[in-house]
Chain A
Protein backbone atom coordinates (compact mmCIF):
# COMPACT_ATOMS: atom_id res chain seq x y z
CA UNK A 1 0.00 0.00 0.00
CA UNK A 2 2.89 2.38 0.74
CA UNK A 3 4.34 2.02 -2.70
CA UNK A 4 0.97 2.88 -4.22
CA UNK A 5 0.87 6.14 -2.29
CA UNK A 6 4.43 7.07 -3.28
CA UNK A 7 3.67 6.45 -6.92
CA UNK A 8 0.63 8.66 -6.72
CA UNK A 9 2.71 11.35 -5.04
CA UNK A 10 5.22 11.45 -7.88
CA UNK A 11 2.44 11.74 -10.42
CA UNK A 12 0.90 14.47 -8.35
CA UNK A 13 3.99 16.70 -8.24
CA UNK A 14 4.64 16.38 -12.01
CA UNK A 15 1.10 17.35 -12.72
CA UNK A 16 1.25 20.31 -10.33
CA UNK A 17 4.52 21.57 -11.79
CA UNK A 18 3.03 21.83 -15.29
CA UNK A 19 -0.08 23.62 -14.00
CA UNK A 20 1.97 26.04 -11.93
CA UNK A 21 4.30 26.83 -14.87
CA UNK A 22 1.34 27.55 -17.14
CA UNK A 23 -0.28 29.84 -14.56
CA UNK A 24 3.01 31.66 -13.96
CA UNK A 25 3.59 32.15 -17.68
CA UNK A 26 0.02 33.26 -18.29
CA UNK A 27 0.01 35.82 -15.47
CA UNK A 28 3.38 37.14 -16.63
CA UNK A 29 1.97 37.65 -20.13
CA UNK A 30 -1.18 39.34 -18.76
CA UNK A 31 0.93 41.64 -16.59
CA UNK A 32 3.17 42.49 -19.54
CA UNK A 33 0.17 43.37 -21.76
CA UNK A 34 -1.25 45.51 -18.93
CA UNK A 35 2.04 47.36 -18.50
CA UNK A 36 2.32 48.04 -22.20
CA UNK A 37 -1.25 49.34 -22.28
CA UNK A 38 -0.73 51.82 -19.43
CA UNK A 39 2.76 52.82 -20.59
CA UNK A 40 1.64 55.75 -22.84
CA UNK A 41 -0.30 57.35 -19.94
CA UNK A 42 2.26 56.90 -17.17
CA UNK A 43 5.31 57.74 -19.21
CA UNK A 44 7.60 55.28 -17.48
CA UNK A 45 11.25 55.04 -18.43
CA UNK A 46 11.69 52.29 -21.02
CA UNK A 47 13.98 50.10 -18.88
CA UNK A 48 11.67 50.11 -15.87
CA UNK A 49 9.04 47.96 -17.59
CA UNK A 50 11.41 45.03 -17.55
CA UNK A 51 12.41 45.73 -13.99
CA UNK A 52 8.75 45.79 -13.01
CA UNK A 53 8.13 42.57 -14.88
CA UNK A 54 11.08 40.94 -13.10
CA UNK A 55 9.88 42.25 -9.71
CA UNK A 56 6.40 40.93 -10.39
CA UNK A 57 7.86 37.58 -11.32
CA UNK A 58 9.89 37.41 -8.11
CA UNK A 59 6.85 38.44 -6.06
CA UNK A 60 4.81 35.75 -7.70
CA UNK A 61 7.45 33.15 -6.99
CA UNK A 62 7.70 34.14 -3.32
CA UNK A 63 3.91 34.11 -2.92
CA UNK A 64 3.78 30.74 -4.59
CA UNK A 65 6.48 29.32 -2.37
CA UNK A 66 4.75 30.57 0.78
CA UNK A 67 1.44 29.19 -0.43
CA UNK A 68 3.07 25.88 -1.29
CA UNK A 69 4.64 25.63 2.18
CA UNK A 70 1.34 26.30 3.95
CA UNK A 71 -0.53 24.00 1.65
CA UNK A 72 1.91 21.14 2.00
CA UNK A 73 1.75 21.40 5.76
CA UNK A 74 -2.04 21.30 5.59
CA UNK A 75 -2.05 18.30 3.29
CA UNK A 76 0.49 16.55 5.46
CA UNK A 77 -1.71 17.02 8.50
CA UNK A 78 -4.74 15.93 6.63
CA UNK A 79 -2.94 12.94 5.20
CA UNK A 80 -1.66 12.01 8.62
CA UNK A 81 -5.21 11.95 9.93
CA UNK A 82 -6.25 9.92 6.94
CA UNK A 83 -3.56 7.29 7.51
CA UNK A 84 -4.36 7.20 11.21
CA UNK A 85 -7.97 6.51 10.41
CA UNK A 86 -7.02 3.61 8.22
CA UNK A 87 -4.74 2.26 10.92
CA UNK A 88 -7.20 2.53 13.77
CA UNK A 89 -10.13 1.91 11.48
CA UNK A 90 -13.29 1.09 13.33
CA UNK A 91 -14.11 -1.60 10.81
CA UNK A 92 -16.83 -3.10 12.92
CA UNK A 93 -19.10 -0.10 12.44
CA UNK A 94 -21.96 -0.65 10.09
CA UNK A 95 -21.39 2.76 8.54
CA UNK A 96 -20.22 2.48 4.97
CA UNK A 97 -18.05 5.60 4.90
CA UNK A 98 -15.28 5.08 7.37
CA UNK A 99 -12.89 7.36 5.55
CA UNK A 100 -14.08 10.93 5.72
CA UNK A 101 -13.61 13.35 2.87
CA UNK A 102 -10.27 15.03 3.14
CA UNK A 103 -9.12 18.19 1.51
CA UNK A 104 -6.24 16.69 -0.41
CA UNK A 105 -5.57 18.66 -3.50
CA UNK A 106 -5.88 16.49 -6.57
CA UNK A 107 -5.46 13.19 -4.85
CA UNK A 108 -9.02 12.02 -4.97
CA UNK A 109 -7.62 8.99 -6.79
CA UNK A 110 -6.01 7.73 -3.59
CA UNK A 111 -9.15 8.49 -1.67
CA UNK A 112 -11.29 6.46 -4.04
CA UNK A 113 -8.77 3.65 -4.13
CA UNK A 114 -8.37 3.48 -0.37
CA UNK A 115 -12.05 3.85 0.31
CA UNK A 116 -12.63 0.77 -1.80
CA UNK A 117 -9.86 -1.07 0.00
CA UNK A 118 -11.24 -0.14 3.39
CA UNK A 119 -14.69 -1.16 2.23
CA UNK A 120 -13.34 -4.59 1.39
CA UNK A 121 -11.60 -4.87 4.77
CA UNK A 122 -14.84 -3.89 6.45
CA UNK A 123 -16.78 -6.52 4.53
CA UNK A 124 -14.17 -9.13 5.47
CA UNK A 125 -14.39 -8.06 9.07
CA UNK A 126 -18.14 -8.45 9.20
CA UNK A 127 -17.88 -11.76 7.42
CA UNK A 128 -15.37 -12.97 10.00
CA UNK A 129 -17.56 -11.82 12.86
CA UNK A 130 -20.52 -13.78 11.50
CA UNK A 131 -18.25 -16.75 10.93
CA UNK A 132 -17.06 -16.76 14.54
CA UNK A 133 -20.62 -16.50 15.80
CA UNK A 134 -21.60 -19.43 13.63
CA UNK A 135 -18.57 -21.56 14.44
CA UNK A 136 -19.28 -21.64 18.12
CA UNK A 137 -22.80 -22.82 17.48
CA UNK A 138 -22.15 -25.15 14.57
CA UNK A 139 -19.21 -26.93 16.19
CA UNK A 140 -20.40 -26.99 19.77
CA UNK A 141 -23.69 -28.70 18.97
CA UNK A 142 -22.14 -31.78 17.29
CA UNK A 143 -19.52 -31.97 20.04
CA UNK A 144 -22.34 -31.87 22.60
CA UNK A 145 -24.07 -34.72 20.79
CA UNK A 146 -20.92 -36.88 20.58
CA UNK A 147 -20.18 -36.25 24.24
CA UNK A 148 -23.74 -37.10 25.24
CA UNK A 149 -23.78 -40.30 23.20
CA UNK A 150 -20.49 -41.41 24.73
CA UNK A 151 -21.89 -40.72 28.18
CA UNK A 152 -24.87 -42.91 27.33
CA UNK A 153 -22.61 -45.59 25.89
CA UNK A 154 -20.52 -45.95 29.04
CA UNK A 155 -23.67 -46.69 31.05
CA UNK A 156 -24.00 -49.97 29.20
CA UNK A 157 -23.33 -53.14 31.19
CA UNK A 158 -21.77 -54.91 28.24
CA UNK A 159 -18.73 -52.72 27.83
CA UNK A 160 -15.39 -54.39 28.48
CA UNK A 161 -12.26 -52.91 29.98
CA UNK A 162 -10.56 -52.49 26.62
CA UNK A 163 -13.62 -50.75 25.22
CA UNK A 164 -13.55 -48.35 28.16
CA UNK A 165 -9.97 -47.53 27.28
CA UNK A 166 -10.94 -46.69 23.69
CA UNK A 167 -13.88 -44.56 24.81
CA UNK A 168 -11.68 -42.77 27.31
CA UNK A 169 -9.20 -41.92 24.54
CA UNK A 170 -12.01 -40.57 22.36
CA UNK A 171 -13.28 -38.46 25.26
CA UNK A 172 -9.86 -37.00 25.93
CA UNK A 173 -9.49 -35.92 22.32
CA UNK A 174 -13.02 -34.58 22.26
CA UNK A 175 -12.21 -32.45 25.29
CA UNK A 176 -9.14 -31.13 23.59
CA UNK A 177 -11.18 -30.28 20.51
CA UNK A 178 -13.63 -28.36 22.67
CA UNK A 179 -10.88 -26.44 24.42
CA UNK A 180 -9.05 -25.53 21.23
CA UNK A 181 -12.30 -24.33 19.70
CA UNK A 182 -13.26 -22.30 22.76
CA UNK A 183 -9.83 -20.70 22.96
CA UNK A 184 -9.74 -19.81 19.28
CA UNK A 185 -13.21 -18.30 19.47
CA UNK A 186 -12.04 -16.31 22.50
CA UNK A 187 -8.95 -15.04 20.68
CA UNK A 188 -11.06 -13.97 17.72
CA UNK A 189 -13.60 -12.27 19.94
CA UNK A 190 -10.85 -10.27 21.62
CA UNK A 191 -9.50 -9.47 18.17
CA UNK A 192 -12.69 -7.89 16.98
CA UNK A 193 -13.16 -5.82 20.14
CA UNK A 194 -15.97 -7.89 21.56
CA UNK A 195 -14.94 -7.05 25.13
CA UNK A 196 -15.06 -3.28 25.29
CA UNK A 197 -16.87 -2.32 28.49
CA UNK A 198 -14.38 -1.26 31.09
CA UNK A 199 -14.64 -1.21 34.85
CA UNK A 200 -12.36 -0.77 37.83
CA UNK A 201 -10.97 -4.17 38.65
CA UNK A 202 -9.54 -5.22 41.98
CA UNK A 203 -6.54 -7.38 41.27
CA UNK A 204 -6.40 -8.94 44.73
CA UNK A 205 -9.90 -10.39 44.55
CA UNK A 206 -9.27 -12.09 41.24
CA UNK A 207 -5.88 -13.30 42.44
CA UNK A 208 -7.28 -14.94 45.58
CA UNK A 209 -10.04 -16.58 43.62
CA UNK A 210 -7.56 -17.95 41.12
CA UNK A 211 -5.14 -19.25 43.71
CA UNK A 212 -8.05 -21.00 45.36
CA UNK A 213 -8.86 -22.69 42.06
CA UNK A 214 -5.35 -24.11 41.87
CA UNK A 215 -5.02 -25.06 45.53
CA UNK A 216 -4.88 -28.80 44.86
CA UNK A 217 -2.13 -28.40 42.32
CA UNK A 218 -0.23 -26.06 44.62
CA UNK A 219 -0.54 -28.48 47.53
CA UNK A 220 0.47 -31.58 45.59
CA UNK A 221 3.48 -29.94 43.94
CA UNK A 222 4.33 -28.35 47.32
CA UNK A 223 4.65 -24.90 45.79
CA UNK A 224 5.43 -21.96 48.03
CA UNK A 225 3.29 -18.93 47.24
CA UNK A 226 4.47 -15.50 48.29
CA UNK A 227 2.35 -12.44 47.79
CA UNK A 228 4.04 -9.06 48.09
CA UNK A 229 1.02 -6.87 47.60
CA UNK A 230 0.23 -4.65 50.53
CA UNK A 231 -2.47 -2.36 49.26
CA UNK A 232 -5.17 -3.38 46.83
CA UNK A 233 -4.14 -2.98 43.24
CA UNK A 234 -6.83 -1.53 41.00
CA UNK A 235 -6.90 -0.96 37.32
CA UNK A 236 -9.31 -0.09 34.60
CA UNK A 237 -10.04 -2.75 32.01
CA UNK A 238 -12.69 -5.19 30.85
CA UNK A 239 -13.69 -7.46 33.72
CA UNK A 240 -13.94 -10.67 31.70
CA UNK A 241 -10.56 -10.07 30.14
CA UNK A 242 -9.05 -9.30 33.55
CA UNK A 243 -10.23 -12.67 34.85
CA UNK A 244 -8.97 -14.54 31.83
CA UNK A 245 -5.64 -12.72 31.93
CA UNK A 246 -4.92 -13.34 35.60
CA UNK A 247 -6.14 -16.92 35.53
CA UNK A 248 -3.94 -17.68 32.56
CA UNK A 249 -0.92 -16.04 34.17
CA UNK A 250 -1.34 -17.96 37.43
CA UNK A 251 -2.10 -21.13 35.58
CA UNK A 252 1.12 -20.85 33.60
CA UNK A 253 3.09 -20.20 36.77
CA UNK A 254 1.52 -23.28 38.41
CA UNK A 255 1.59 -25.85 35.64
CA UNK A 256 5.01 -24.97 34.29
CA UNK A 257 6.49 -25.10 37.77
CA UNK A 258 8.65 -27.75 39.39
CA UNK A 259 8.07 -29.80 42.52
CA UNK A 260 8.73 -27.83 45.70
CA UNK A 261 9.05 -24.72 43.55
CA UNK A 262 7.81 -21.23 44.25
CA UNK A 263 5.57 -18.51 42.87
CA UNK A 264 6.18 -14.93 43.90
CA UNK A 265 3.59 -12.32 43.07
CA UNK A 266 4.64 -8.77 43.70
CA UNK A 267 3.48 -5.27 42.97
CA UNK A 268 5.85 -3.18 40.92
CA UNK A 269 7.47 -0.45 43.00
CA UNK A 270 7.95 2.14 40.32
CA UNK A 271 4.77 1.64 38.36
CA UNK A 272 1.22 0.34 38.47
CA UNK A 273 1.71 -3.29 37.62
CA UNK A 274 2.42 -6.80 38.78
CA UNK A 275 5.28 -9.20 38.45
CA UNK A 276 4.90 -12.94 38.69
CA UNK A 277 8.14 -14.81 39.24
CA UNK A 278 8.14 -18.58 39.32
CA UNK A 279 10.54 -21.45 39.30
CA UNK A 280 10.30 -23.77 36.35
CA UNK A 281 12.21 -25.81 33.86
CA UNK A 282 15.02 -24.32 31.83
CA UNK A 283 13.73 -23.67 28.34
CA UNK A 284 15.75 -23.00 25.26
CA UNK A 285 13.43 -21.57 22.66
CA UNK A 286 13.26 -17.81 22.24
CA UNK A 287 10.73 -15.82 24.22
CA UNK A 288 8.99 -14.42 21.15
CA UNK A 289 8.27 -17.82 19.79
CA UNK A 290 6.46 -18.90 22.94
CA UNK A 291 3.78 -16.30 22.34
CA UNK A 292 2.92 -17.79 18.99
CA UNK A 293 -0.12 -20.00 18.83
CA UNK A 294 0.23 -23.73 19.45
CA UNK A 295 3.75 -23.44 20.83
CA UNK A 296 4.15 -26.00 23.57
CA UNK A 297 7.38 -26.09 25.52
CA UNK A 298 8.63 -28.35 28.27
CA UNK A 299 6.90 -31.52 27.09
CA UNK A 300 3.66 -30.59 28.75
CA UNK A 301 1.30 -32.71 26.73
CA UNK A 302 -2.07 -31.46 27.87
CA UNK A 303 -1.43 -27.87 26.98
CA UNK A 304 -3.07 -26.69 23.81
CA UNK A 305 -0.47 -23.96 23.49
CA UNK A 306 -2.85 -21.02 23.41
CA UNK A 307 -2.43 -19.67 26.94
CA UNK A 308 0.40 -17.27 26.20
CA UNK A 309 -1.25 -16.14 22.96
CA UNK A 310 -4.35 -15.26 24.95
CA UNK A 311 -2.30 -13.37 27.54
CA UNK A 312 -0.48 -11.42 24.82
CA UNK A 313 -3.69 -10.63 22.96
CA UNK A 314 -5.48 -9.37 26.08
CA UNK A 315 -2.53 -7.14 26.98
CA UNK A 316 -2.44 -5.81 23.43
CA UNK A 317 -6.08 -4.74 23.35
CA UNK A 318 -6.10 -3.46 26.93
CA UNK A 319 -3.05 -1.25 26.58
CA UNK A 320 -1.05 -3.30 29.08
CA UNK A 321 2.71 -3.63 28.65
CA UNK A 322 3.72 -7.27 28.84
CA UNK A 323 7.20 -8.61 29.22
CA UNK A 324 8.46 -12.11 29.80
CA UNK A 325 11.93 -13.30 30.55
CA UNK A 326 13.41 -16.59 31.60
CA UNK A 327 16.83 -17.24 32.96
CA UNK A 328 18.16 -20.49 34.38
CA UNK A 329 14.71 -21.77 35.20
CA UNK A 330 13.42 -18.55 36.70
CA UNK A 331 10.48 -17.21 34.74
CA UNK A 332 9.33 -13.63 35.14
CA UNK A 333 6.17 -12.20 33.67
CA UNK A 334 5.55 -8.49 34.16
CA UNK A 335 2.48 -6.51 33.27
CA UNK A 336 2.27 -2.73 33.52
CA UNK A 337 -0.97 -0.82 33.31
Chain B
Protein backbone atom coordinates (compact mmCIF):
# COMPACT_ATOMS: atom_id res chain seq x y z
CA UNK B 1 0.00 0.00 0.00
CA UNK B 2 2.78 2.38 0.87
CA UNK B 3 4.41 1.52 -2.41
CA UNK B 4 1.24 2.33 -4.29
CA UNK B 5 0.87 5.70 -2.66
CA UNK B 6 4.46 6.41 -3.47
CA UNK B 7 3.84 5.60 -7.09
CA UNK B 8 0.82 7.86 -7.38
CA UNK B 9 2.41 10.79 -5.65
CA UNK B 10 5.69 10.55 -7.46
CA UNK B 11 4.49 9.77 -10.89
CA UNK B 12 7.26 10.04 -13.44
CA UNK B 13 6.13 12.00 -16.43
CA UNK B 14 8.01 12.85 -19.60
CA UNK B 15 6.83 15.69 -21.81
CA UNK B 16 8.04 15.66 -25.41
CA UNK B 17 7.10 18.99 -27.00
CA UNK B 18 9.02 21.23 -29.38
CA UNK B 19 7.12 24.38 -28.49
CA UNK B 20 8.97 25.79 -25.49
CA UNK B 21 6.08 27.93 -24.28
CA UNK B 22 3.71 24.99 -24.15
CA UNK B 23 6.40 22.93 -22.46
CA UNK B 24 6.95 25.56 -19.79
CA UNK B 25 3.23 26.07 -19.20
CA UNK B 26 2.55 22.36 -18.74
CA UNK B 27 5.59 21.94 -16.48
CA UNK B 28 4.50 24.84 -14.31
CA UNK B 29 0.95 23.54 -13.91
CA UNK B 30 2.16 20.02 -13.11
CA UNK B 31 4.94 21.17 -10.82
CA UNK B 32 2.83 21.63 -7.73
CA UNK B 33 1.20 18.20 -8.01
CA UNK B 34 4.40 16.56 -6.85
CA UNK B 35 5.09 14.67 -10.05
CA UNK B 36 8.60 13.89 -11.18
CA UNK B 37 8.81 15.76 -14.44
CA UNK B 38 11.21 15.35 -17.33
CA UNK B 39 11.19 17.28 -20.57
CA UNK B 40 12.40 16.67 -24.10
CA UNK B 41 12.42 19.29 -26.82
CA UNK B 42 12.72 16.99 -29.80
CA UNK B 43 12.68 13.42 -31.07
CA UNK B 44 16.33 12.64 -30.26
CA UNK B 45 16.00 14.06 -26.76
CA UNK B 46 12.84 12.10 -26.21
CA UNK B 47 14.33 8.86 -27.47
CA UNK B 48 17.36 9.23 -25.20
CA UNK B 49 15.14 9.87 -22.16
CA UNK B 50 12.83 6.98 -22.97
CA UNK B 51 15.77 4.59 -23.31
CA UNK B 52 17.24 5.71 -20.03
CA UNK B 53 14.27 5.74 -17.66
CA UNK B 54 10.89 4.14 -17.18
CA UNK B 55 8.02 6.60 -17.14
CA UNK B 56 4.47 6.25 -15.91
CA UNK B 57 3.26 8.58 -18.59
CA UNK B 58 4.64 10.32 -21.66
CA UNK B 59 2.93 13.39 -23.08
CA UNK B 60 3.91 13.38 -26.72
CA UNK B 61 3.57 16.04 -29.40
CA UNK B 62 3.34 14.36 -32.79
CA UNK B 63 4.82 17.26 -34.77
CA UNK B 64 8.47 17.09 -33.84
CA UNK B 65 11.13 18.88 -35.89
CA UNK B 66 13.57 15.99 -36.18
CA UNK B 67 11.47 12.86 -36.28
CA UNK B 68 8.07 11.24 -36.42
CA UNK B 69 6.15 11.31 -33.14
CA UNK B 70 4.27 8.13 -34.11
CA UNK B 71 7.61 6.36 -34.46
CA UNK B 72 8.65 7.50 -30.99
CA UNK B 73 5.33 6.26 -29.63
CA UNK B 74 6.02 2.79 -31.01
CA UNK B 75 9.46 2.79 -29.37
CA UNK B 76 8.03 3.83 -26.00
CA UNK B 77 5.44 1.05 -26.10
CA UNK B 78 8.06 -1.45 -27.25
CA UNK B 79 10.22 -0.70 -24.26
CA UNK B 80 7.53 -0.65 -21.61
CA UNK B 81 3.94 -1.50 -22.35
CA UNK B 82 2.58 0.00 -19.18
CA UNK B 83 3.92 3.47 -19.91
CA UNK B 84 0.86 5.52 -20.72
CA UNK B 85 1.16 7.74 -23.76
CA UNK B 86 -1.00 10.79 -24.37
CA UNK B 87 -0.71 12.35 -27.79
CA UNK B 88 -0.80 16.11 -27.97
CA UNK B 89 -1.49 17.46 -31.40
CA UNK B 90 -2.60 20.58 -33.21
CA UNK B 91 -4.29 18.44 -35.77
CA UNK B 92 -7.90 17.91 -34.80
CA UNK B 93 -8.76 15.61 -37.68
CA UNK B 94 -10.40 12.46 -36.44
CA UNK B 95 -8.31 10.29 -38.75
CA UNK B 96 -5.12 11.22 -36.92
CA UNK B 97 -6.82 10.52 -33.62
CA UNK B 98 -7.75 7.04 -34.78
CA UNK B 99 -4.26 6.44 -36.17
CA UNK B 100 -2.69 7.45 -32.86
CA UNK B 101 -4.94 5.21 -30.81
CA UNK B 102 -4.52 2.31 -33.22
CA UNK B 103 -0.78 2.24 -32.80
CA UNK B 104 -1.10 2.14 -29.06
CA UNK B 105 -1.51 5.62 -27.66
CA UNK B 106 -3.69 5.64 -24.56
CA UNK B 107 -5.29 8.98 -25.16
CA UNK B 108 -5.33 11.91 -27.52
CA UNK B 109 -5.68 15.60 -26.76
CA UNK B 110 -6.02 18.37 -29.30
CA UNK B 111 -4.54 21.84 -28.97
CA UNK B 112 -5.75 24.13 -27.56
CA UNK B 113 -6.31 22.03 -24.45
CA UNK B 114 -7.03 22.88 -20.83
CA UNK B 115 -4.20 22.11 -18.40
CA UNK B 116 -6.72 20.64 -15.95
CA UNK B 117 -7.98 18.33 -18.69
CA UNK B 118 -4.45 17.17 -19.49
CA UNK B 119 -3.90 16.46 -15.81
CA UNK B 120 -7.12 14.44 -15.60
CA UNK B 121 -6.09 12.42 -18.66
CA UNK B 122 -2.62 11.75 -17.26
CA UNK B 123 -4.06 10.49 -13.97
CA UNK B 124 -6.61 8.34 -15.72
CA UNK B 125 -4.05 6.78 -18.06
CA UNK B 126 -1.64 6.01 -15.26
CA UNK B 127 -4.41 4.51 -13.15
CA UNK B 128 -5.53 2.27 -15.99
CA UNK B 129 -2.04 1.03 -16.79
CA UNK B 130 -1.02 0.17 -13.26
CA UNK B 131 -0.76 -3.56 -12.61
CA UNK B 132 -1.48 -3.35 -8.92
CA UNK B 133 -4.60 -1.44 -9.71
CA UNK B 134 -5.18 1.05 -6.95
CA UNK B 135 -8.32 2.58 -8.29
CA UNK B 136 -9.13 5.06 -5.58
CA UNK B 137 -8.88 8.82 -5.66
CA UNK B 138 -9.50 10.51 -2.37
CA UNK B 139 -9.81 13.84 -0.65
CA UNK B 140 -10.09 13.62 3.13
CA UNK B 141 -13.37 11.83 3.90
CA UNK B 142 -14.35 11.52 0.24
CA UNK B 143 -13.16 8.36 -1.53
CA UNK B 144 -13.84 7.72 -5.19
CA UNK B 145 -13.43 4.19 -6.52
CA UNK B 146 -12.83 4.62 -10.24
CA UNK B 147 -13.23 0.92 -11.02
CA UNK B 148 -16.72 0.54 -9.60
CA UNK B 149 -17.50 4.27 -9.96
CA UNK B 150 -18.62 4.38 -6.34
CA UNK B 151 -18.18 7.30 -4.02
CA UNK B 152 -18.12 7.12 -0.23
CA UNK B 153 -18.17 9.92 2.32
CA UNK B 154 -17.03 8.84 5.79
CA UNK B 155 -17.29 5.27 4.42
CA UNK B 156 -20.95 5.81 3.61
CA UNK B 157 -21.93 5.31 0.00
CA UNK B 158 -23.55 8.19 -1.88
CA UNK B 159 -25.52 7.76 -5.07
CA UNK B 160 -24.44 10.10 -7.85
CA UNK B 161 -25.62 10.57 -11.40
CA UNK B 162 -23.06 9.95 -14.15
CA UNK B 163 -22.43 13.65 -14.62
CA UNK B 164 -22.15 14.35 -10.90
CA UNK B 165 -19.64 11.53 -10.63
CA UNK B 166 -17.57 12.83 -13.54
CA UNK B 167 -17.67 16.34 -12.09
CA UNK B 168 -16.53 15.21 -8.65
CA UNK B 169 -13.69 13.12 -10.07
CA UNK B 170 -12.53 16.00 -12.26
CA UNK B 171 -12.58 18.42 -9.32
CA UNK B 172 -10.79 16.06 -6.94
CA UNK B 173 -8.09 15.15 -9.46
CA UNK B 174 -7.45 18.85 -9.96
CA UNK B 175 -7.78 19.62 -6.27
CA UNK B 176 -6.57 22.98 -4.97
CA UNK B 177 -6.65 24.37 -8.52
CA UNK B 178 -9.04 26.90 -9.92
CA UNK B 179 -10.93 25.17 -12.72
CA UNK B 180 -12.51 27.29 -15.41
CA UNK B 181 -16.14 26.82 -16.35
CA UNK B 182 -15.01 26.24 -19.93
CA UNK B 183 -12.73 23.40 -18.95
CA UNK B 184 -15.42 21.74 -16.82
CA UNK B 185 -18.00 22.14 -19.57
CA UNK B 186 -15.67 20.60 -22.14
CA UNK B 187 -14.77 17.77 -19.81
CA UNK B 188 -18.37 16.81 -19.18
CA UNK B 189 -20.09 17.61 -22.47
CA UNK B 190 -17.22 17.65 -24.95
CA UNK B 191 -16.41 20.60 -27.15
CA UNK B 192 -19.68 20.35 -28.98
CA UNK B 193 -21.90 22.12 -26.49
CA UNK B 194 -20.62 25.61 -26.79
CA UNK B 195 -23.05 27.83 -25.06
CA UNK B 196 -22.77 29.61 -21.79
CA UNK B 197 -25.92 27.83 -20.65
CA UNK B 198 -23.82 24.80 -19.89
CA UNK B 199 -22.37 26.88 -17.07
CA UNK B 200 -25.83 26.87 -15.49
CA UNK B 201 -25.86 23.08 -15.79
CA UNK B 202 -22.51 22.89 -14.03
CA UNK B 203 -23.94 25.04 -11.26
CA UNK B 204 -27.02 22.87 -10.83
CA UNK B 205 -25.05 19.60 -10.91
CA UNK B 206 -22.60 20.98 -8.35
CA UNK B 207 -25.45 22.09 -6.12
CA UNK B 208 -26.81 18.53 -6.07
CA UNK B 209 -23.35 17.11 -5.54
CA UNK B 210 -22.69 19.43 -2.62
CA UNK B 211 -26.01 18.48 -1.06
CA UNK B 212 -25.35 14.74 -1.38
CA UNK B 213 -21.89 15.04 0.19
CA UNK B 214 -23.11 17.19 3.07
CA UNK B 215 -26.01 14.82 3.78
CA UNK B 216 -23.38 12.25 4.79
CA UNK B 217 -21.63 14.83 6.98
CA UNK B 218 -18.96 15.58 4.43
CA UNK B 219 -17.49 19.06 4.38
CA UNK B 220 -18.24 21.52 1.62
CA UNK B 221 -15.05 21.69 -0.40
CA UNK B 222 -16.54 23.11 -3.59
CA UNK B 223 -15.67 26.77 -3.76
CA UNK B 224 -17.01 29.18 -6.32
CA UNK B 225 -14.40 31.46 -7.87
CA UNK B 226 -16.19 34.55 -8.98
CA UNK B 227 -16.61 34.81 -12.75
CA UNK B 228 -14.12 32.07 -13.49
CA UNK B 229 -15.14 28.71 -12.16
CA UNK B 230 -14.67 26.41 -9.21
CA UNK B 231 -12.05 25.02 -6.90
CA UNK B 232 -12.06 21.89 -4.78
CA UNK B 233 -10.07 22.67 -1.66
CA UNK B 234 -10.11 22.89 2.11
CA UNK B 235 -11.79 26.05 3.19
CA UNK B 236 -9.63 28.57 4.92
CA UNK B 237 -10.98 29.73 8.24
CA UNK B 238 -12.07 33.28 7.71
List residues of A whose CB falls within 8 A of some B CB: 136-137, 140-141, 143-149, 151-152, 154-155, 161, 164-165, 167-168, 171-172, 175, 178-179, 182, 185, 189, 194, 213-214, 216-217, 220, 240, 247, 251, 255, 302-304
Contacts and interface: CB of A to CB of B under 8 A. Distances in A.
A143 B111 contact: yes
Contact of A151 (B114, B163, B190): B114
B178 to A, nearest CB: 5
Interface in B27-60: 28-29
A302 B115 contact: no
Contacts of A137: 63, 90-91
A320 B19 CA distance: 42
B192 A247 contact: yes
A136 B114 contact: no
21 contacts: A136-B92, A141-B22, A144-B111, A147-B112, A148-B26, A149-B25, A154-B178, A154-B228, A164-B227, A164-B228, A168-B228, A175-B182, A179-B194, A182-B191, A189-B93, A213-B192, A216-B189, A220-B204, A240-B94, A251-B193, A255-B197
A145 B22 contact: yes
Contacts of A145: 19, 21-22, 25
| Chain A contact residues: helix, strand, loop or mixed | helix
B195 interface: yes
B69 to A, nearest CB: 13
Is the interface on chain B under 10, 10 to 19, 20 to 34, or 35 or more residues? Answer: 35 or more
Given A145-B19, A172-B182, 12 more contacts: A141-B111, A151-B114, A152-B29, A154-B180, A154-B229, A161-B227, A168-B228, A178-B112, A213-B192, A216-B189, A220-B197, A302-B197
A211 to B, nearest CB: 13
Contacts of A167: 227-228
B193 A214 contact: yes
B116 interface: yes
Contacts of B28: 152
Interface string B114-129: 1110000000000000
B214 interface: no
Contacts of A144: 22, 90, 111-113
B132 interface: no
A66 to B, nearest CB: 57
A151 B112 contact: no
